[in-house]
Structure 1
Amino acid sequence: MITTPLSALEVAMVQSGAPAVDTLRDTIEFARRIEDLGHRRLWYAEHHHSPAIGAFPPVVLCAHAAASTSSLRVGSGGVLAPNHAPIMLAEQFGTLAALHPDRIDLGIGRGPGTFDEPTARALRRGAGPTTDEEYRGDVSAILRFLVDEVALGTLPEPWLLASSTAGAGLAAELGLPLAFAHHIRPDNTLAGLAHYREHFVPSRWCERPRVLVCVETVCAETQKEAAWLAGPMDVVKAGLLKGRGDFPFPTPREAATHTFTPEEAQALTAFRAQQAHGTPDTVAGRLADLVETTGADELMLVTPVYALADRLRSYELVRDAVTPPR
């Protein structure tokens, strides 16, 4: 049993053989069920030009989810600062926070959200990858505009997303809560969190270090079923290992026929060992271990499985396994 609050990250995987609009419709049922399960917050990630992940703007999904739920915090996990004008992000999330007081999070990240270089350049109006100083300037400008330009009452809660020590260091410098992408770069987690806590500077946004750790979580009644459900994302990850984001999100049956190279299989096995896959008892134990080793104030679960029913069932099993009996 753990007492650490749980949240969810929705990456809106587009099912093989199904239109993207079906994934879009599923996001609201998912949000309502996550609220029913008692999760603290639900975040949406920004992606572009991917056959596996819907290109649904987080701000739009946040607006729809907030209007379709009553107590769940909703936000971006994250919007990618280099792709947007800082004042627009401040205005968009400031407006959401005014419409849904004390329920909106503004999670800010750096990456382009795509492996397609022409798409990345189009998002940035022809500009190349952002530098460390440009990113720092973008994040600082967003925070400044929230305070100085968006005078609508309640502000969104800003978070900085990171998967490296450098990103964690920026969160510490600006005094922001840190959401660490353990589900992307687990080998960086402990060093990144240690750096953040050591260098944290209190601010108007956060008085002390505050850490959310995102972990890939696939839970089922049996280990075999959990592996079956995780199969489609393994295929997508194999593409990412090659620097490619053009792999579609297959069905579990399609994924079962995929042949991995020995190097891919080794990398995927090592990755899974640092996440939370398996039966309820196995997942509960892994999450408890992660809380102990990271000192996380909150865990955010991302469950990239094919069918909505299976995804929701995973969250239900985890909730039942980790929640202390009343």
Structure 2
Amino acid sequence: MITVPLSALEVAMVQSGAPAVDTLRDTTEFARRLEGLGYERLWYAEHHHSPAIGAFPPVVLTAHAAALTSSLRLGSGGVLAPNHAPIMLAEQFGTLAALHPDRIDLGIGRGPGTFDEPTARALRRGAAPTTDAEYRDDVTAILRLLVEEVALGPLPEPWLLSSSTAGAALAAELGLPIAFAHHIRPDNTSAALGHYREHFTPSRWCARPRVLVCVETVCAGTDEEAARLAGPMDVVKAGLLQGRSEVAFPTPEEAAAHAFTEQEEKALRAFRSQQAHGSPASVVKRLTEVVEATGADELMLVTPVHALADRLRSYELVKEYARG
């Protein structure tokens, strides 16, 4: 039984052979259905120049979904501070929070959102990658502007995204709730969250340490079916292991025919062992273990599978079996 709230991360995988606009339509249906399932929140990730993931701005998707739902919390998971002027992020999410009181989250991250260097430079208008000090300045500026200059009424709830101890340290220093990317850097989770809790400083945003852990979750009727559905993302990950970011998101059938190297197989097995793939019983058991190991106050599930129906079924099964 899972006793903490469950939420979802939308990464908008573009299906092989289908136009990106189909993925965009799927995100709308996904938000409606997720609200009906009783999930806590839905966040949108910022990505650029990827054949596998749609380049849909989180602020736009948040606004669209908020207008079509009534209770689901919505926001960025995350919007990437180095790519945007702090005043613009404060204005955009401040406006959303005024239009949809107590429903908007502002999850802030650091990465460029792309593996393509020309795209990363274009996003930064030719500037070099942001430094630790510049990132801290951006985050503090966003928080200050929300309060001092935007403040149209209810404020968005800020979160700091992290996949490392450095990000956790900044969240602790600023007194922000932390969303940890266990689905990206699971080996960093324990040390980073330990540092966050030990060094947390209360703030106007958060009185005590507050931890959300994001876990890659693929749930189906059987372990074998879940493995089949997870196959396309395995192909994308294998490409990244080889330094290739241009890998498209294949169909399960295409993924089943893909030949992985022994090194890739080993790395993928190690990664999967720290996520939650399998039948409902297997997934709920694994998610419960993550909560116990991390002390998470909330779990966010990311389910990068090919078809919307399979993705929704995964969330349905988890919610049904999580009740015990």
| TM-score normalised by L of structure 1 | 0.99
CA distance in 2, matches of 1:243, 1:296: 32
Q: Which residue in 2 is equivalent to 1:276?
A: 276
Following superposition, the deviation at residue 2 of structure 1 comes to 1.4
Q: For residues 142-190 of structure 1, give each alpha carbon's deviation from its aligned partner in whole angstroms, at most 9, with x where no partner exists.
A: 0011011102000000000000000000000000000000000000000
Following superposition, the deviation at residue 323 of structure 1 comes to 1.7
Q: Which residue in 2 is equivalent to 1:305?
A: 305
Is 2:208 the counterpart of 1:208?
A: yes
CA distance in 2, matches of 1:307, 1:323: 25
CA distance in 2, matches of 1:281, 1:129: 43
Q: For residues 7-44 of structure 1, give each alpha carbon's deviation from its aligned partner in whole angstroms, at most 9, with x where no partner exists.
A: 00000000000000000001011001110110000000
Q: For residues 191-217 of structure 1, give each alpha carbon's deviation from its aligned partner in whole angstroms, at most 9, with x where no partner exists.
A: 000000000000000000000000000
Is 2:44 the counterpart of 1:35?
A: no
Q: Which residue in 2 is equivalent to 1:193?
A: 193
Is 2:255 the counterpart of 1:255?
A: yes
Following superposition, the deviation at residue 242 of structure 1 comes to 2.1
Aligned 1:1-326 pairs, distance under 5 A: 1-324=1-324
Describe the SS at the equivalent of 1:13: coil
Structure 1 counterpart of 2:322, one-letter code? V
Structure 1 counterpart of 2:185, one-letter code? R
**Stretch of structure 1 that moved more, 315-324 or 5-14:** 315-324
CA distance in 1, matches of 2:245, 2:61: 22
CA contact (8 A) 1:115 1:243 kept: no
- How many residue pairs end up in the alignment? 324
Describe the SS at the equivalent of 2:247: coil
CA distance in 2, matches of 1:78, 1:244: 23
CA distance in 2, matches of 1:66, 1:244: 35
Q: Kindly, what percent of the aligned residue pairs are identical?
A: 82
CA distance in 1, matches of 2:296, 2:107: 17
CA contact (8 A) 1:110 1:135 kept: yes
Following superposition, the deviation at residue 245 of structure 1 comes to 1.6
CA contact (8 A) 1:226 1:277 kept: yes
CA distance in 2, matches of 1:113, 1:128: 15
Describe the SS at the equivalent of 1:149: helix
Following superposition, the deviation at residue 53 of structure 1 comes to 0.1
CA distance in 1, matches of 2:187, 2:42: 25
Q: For residues 72-126 of structure 1, give each alpha carbon's deviation from its aligned partner in whole angstroms, at most 9, with x where no partner exists.
A: 0000000000000000000000000000000000000000000000000000000
**Stretch of structure 1 that moved more, 146-155 or 202-211:** 146-155
Describe the SS at the equivalent of 1:209: coil
Q: For residues 276-302 of structure 1, give each alpha carbon's deviation from its aligned partner in whole angstroms, at most 9, with x where no partner exists.
A: 000000000000000001000000000
CA contact (8 A) 1:218 1:276 kept: yes
Structure 1 counterpart of 2:132, one-letter code? D
Describe the SS at the equivalent of 2:184: coil
**Stretch of structure 1 that moved more, 243-252 or 84-93:** 243-252
Task: Flag structure 1 segments of 5+ consecutive residues without an equivalent.
Answer: none
Structure 2 counterpart of 1:66, one-letter code? A
Describe the SS at the equivalent of 2:115: coil
Following superposition, the deviation at residue 128 of structure 1 comes to 1.4
CA distance in 1, matches of 2:177, 2:233: 29
CA distance in 2, matches of 1:200, 1:272: 30
CA contact (8 A) 1:31 1:69 kept: yes
Following superposition, the deviation at residue 244 of structure 1 comes to 2.4
CA distance in 2, matches of 1:20, 1:269: 30
Q: For residues 270-326 of structure 1, give each alpha carbon's deviation from its aligned partner in whole angstroms, at most 9, with x where no partner exists.
A: 0000000000000000000000010000000000000000000000000111024xx
CA contact (8 A) 1:276 1:287 kept: yes
CA distance in 2, matches of 1:323, 1:107: 28
